[in-house]
Amino acid sequence: MIGQSQKSSIRIQKLWHKGNYQIAVHIDWRDQKAKNSIQQLGAKYSKTHRCWYIPYKSSAYQELKRNFEHIEILADPLAKKTVQPKATPDSRDENLPIAQQRELPSQTKKSDGLAHKSESKQIDPRLKLQVLPDVGKYWVLKIRYVQQYVQALKKVKGVYWNQNQKVYMILRHAEVKQKVEAIFGITLFPENFYYRDQTKSDLNLEVGAYESDSRFMLIRHSGDFRVSDTLRRLANCRYSKKQDGYLVPATPKHLETLKLLLSEFDPQIIWHVDQSYLLPKKALKSKSLELIKTKQSLLEMIPDHTAEYLEEMVNMLMAMNYSPKTIKNYS
């Protein structure tokens, strides 16, 4: 027992700090004896939380009880923010009175000899973890950036970062599920694994002419997400809301690439145009493609009865060799 600290009083609470739970110790800054005592116990000072802290262990808590007569236990500030998964047996270090006071606020303080209920395993509160509804063959996971978890997710094959939605797309596979859940230490996903035979067996692909620009062919399909994923991988392919289909350069090379990408699904291709419509000379240069995209996006933003006037203006600006960005600003 450390001498001359019997009359000092401290306040303690559960604290998440540096990737682990700690016991935060608050002392009166004027109480030099308490400061000396807590330093002799190996406590460190946190500038972030403006308090001393020691490891969140039963032995550390017992040391505090032996060296300080008055100990006030404060409520855990993360109690309402922490995601609570299913209860699992935990170590005795998680059963300190600091945790129990948060879980059982209505109960009176029990004697030190009584056993406390085990606390359920918790997700790191910094993550703000959310499991969103499934998308196609993926589970969707949303977390805040915490380096150790993000780096671990990057190493798992089958986990992809979606830049637009700011979420992780996780392939619905048993091995991927096991690895991802091992990172967070809890069960996150149901066992609704993705199997090819669960998807639609009949894939229909309709290929037709695009009347507004004969350099493109219009492709519509039966709504299967596998076809959508494949079409997005095609070079110079874009989706048209007005046509409700994908516009792909009408070249034999693009058709050959599309067939190769869809070969494992064995789609049925329905032709609404003669295959002579596909010509190598319809291949587009990057600048032409940018101009076409700009023109198409502008036409889709306005009502149909005004499209004629906008198209004339855009054609005039294109004839003057204006850049796509300039055309968009003028329009």
Tens of pLDDT, residue by residue over 299-320, are 777 787 777 777 777 777 777 7
Residue 95 and residue 186 in one domain: no
pLDDT at 205: 84
pLDDT at 170: 93
User: Is residue 87 scored above 60 in pLDDT?
Assistant: no
pLDDT at 196: 58
Q: Are residues 154 and 178 in the same domain?
A: yes
In a domain, 331, yes or no: no
**Mean pLDDT on 167-184:** 92
Backbone angles phi, psi at 131, to 5 degrees: -100, 115
Strands 204-209, 167-171: pairing is unpaired
State mean pLDDT over 185-211.
78
Bridge partner residues of 130 (DSSP): 142
CA distance linking residue 133 with residue 136, whole number of Å: 10
Residue 164, pLDDT score:
83
Mean per-residue pLDDT of the chain: 77
- pLDDT above 80: residue 28: yes
Q: Are residues 91 and 153 in the same domain?
A: no
Looking at the structure of the chain, the number of domains it has is: 3
Q: How far is CA 218 from CA 61, 98, 248, in A?
A: 71, 65, 7
> Does residue 182 sit within a domain?
yes
Q: Are residues 208 and 311 in the same domain?
A: yes
* Other beta carbons within 10 Å of 117: 12
In this structure, of 55-64, 65-74, 126-135, 255-264, the range with the lowest mean pLDDT score is 255-264
Q: Which of 92-106, 218-232, 315-329 has the lowest mean pLDDT?
A: 92-106
For the chain, percent of residues with pLDDT exceeding 90: 17
Residue 226 lies in a domain: yes
Residue 301 CA to its chain's centroid (Å): 31
Q: Mean pLDDT, to the nearest integer, of 238-260?
A: 85
pLDDT tier, 121 (very low <50, low <70, confident <90, very high otherwise):
low
183 and 251 share one domain? no
Q: Establish if 114 belongs to a structural domain.
A: no
Domain span including residue 215: 204-315
Residues 176 and 232 in one domain: no
Q: At CA 155, angle to CA 150 and CA 159, rounded to 5?
A: 75
| CA–CA separation, 309 and 241 (whole Å) | 21
H or E element at residue 309: helix 307-319
What pLDDT was estimated at residue 263?
A: 78
